[in-house]
Amino acid sequence: VPYNLLGFIWAKIFSNSTDSDFCKGMLLIKNGKLQETALLLSLAEYMNISSLKAIDFDEMQLRFSFLKDGVFRYGLKSNGKDVVLEANFQINRDQQLSGYFNANINHALLMESDKFRRLLKMIGNESASIDFPFKLGGTIHKPRLSWLRNDFKRSLEHVIPAWYRQGMQKGIDDVVE
């Protein structure tokens, strides 16, 4: 996965040609910035929040394994003032992406999106931050996000008519594709 990553990096990498994990390791990055990655660009477009194209964080942990069969596995956790990210995904030989991704986005940042500003007002949500769980698909260069059900999404379902939600989801899917 191409990362545009800034910060103080500590790395631990192991390699073993007899193990199924040909190479594995961990990166710990402090006081950093993740910017303009395909995943962040997809998230920014999906949420209609341009500030999500680059996020600052206090600490990020990235665990990885390169398997002999050409599969790359990643686990990522980052914590920042505005956004907390957590992801577990893999990339196969054809650069297909699969896994899960969660973005916890603070209220002030969500208010930058016309779409979410209206939705938050409709349901009267004043939470400090909201979780957005996604299933990942697509490729490493064009990730596809599918918003999974959680408490916030269920609260929207009680307020927004089904025909409007389906149209909204189709519009979001069209943008992502």
State the pLDDT at residue 166. Answer: 67
Q: Which residues are paired to 91 by β-bridges?
A: 72, 97
What confidence score (pLDDT) does residue 157 get? 76
Question: Among 47, 43, 46, which residue's Cα sits nearest to residue 113?
Answer: 47
Pairing of strands 21-35, 97-106: unpaired
Interstrand relation of 5-15 and 83-91 (parallel, antiparallel or unpaired): unpaired
Compute, in degrees rounded to 10, the torsion defined by CA atoms 141, 144, 148, 151.
70
The most distant pair of C-alpha atoms in the chain lies apart, rounded to whole Å, by 57
Question: Can you name the residues that pair with 130 across neighbouring β-strands?
Answer: 105
- Given this model, what pLDDT does residue 167 score? 64
Alpha carbons 119 and 109: distance in angstroms, whole number: 14
User: Is residue 116 classed as helix, strand or coil in its secondary structure?
Assistant: helix
| Inter-residue contact 103 to 43 (CB < 8 Å) | yes
pLDDT at position 122: 77
pLDDT for res 170:
58
Beta bridge partners of 87: 76, 101
Is the separation of the CB atoms in 93 and 72 below 8 Å? no
How far is 133 from 109, CA to CA, in rounded Å? 17
- For residue 13, the model assigns a pLDDT of 82
**pLDDT per 10-residue tile (average), the chain, 177 residues:** 73 74 86 92 93 94 85 92 95 93 94 86 80 94 91 78 64 48
